[in-house]
Amino acid sequence: MKTRVLRSFIALALSVGATLAGPVTLLWDDPNTAPDIAGYIVNYGQVGTTVTNQVLVAVPTKQHTFTNLPVGKYYWWTVQVTNTAKLKSDPSTVLLASIPVGATNLSITQP
């Protein structure tokens, strides 16, 4: 039996709005053009905690906006691709960022 591995190389970018608790928009680019891509799994959490959150994003959307993230804290994000067979890619490289107090139009791009 063959096992298919779902691979994707996702680049992440972060954009922070000008309000006290965000909003924070995570954008990604996925060069995978396979026809069976079902969506994306956004994993995130606050650095220093054991809590991992997940958001499912349907294709063709390649962004998600978070609201009410407390400012002045560090967060991490990764994105995975999932397909119609429920296979998941490895997570993208971790994007780490702090949501600064009073930030306006901050943009952070993963190297």
Which pLDDT tens digit goes with each residue over 36-71?
999 999 999 988 888 889 999 999 988 888 877 777
What's the predicted TM-score (pTM) here? 0.77
- b/e for 79-106, b at 16 or more Cβ within 10 A? bbbbbeeeeebeebeebebebeeebeeb
> What's the pLDDT at 98?
77
Q: Name the average pLDDT for the chain.
A: 76
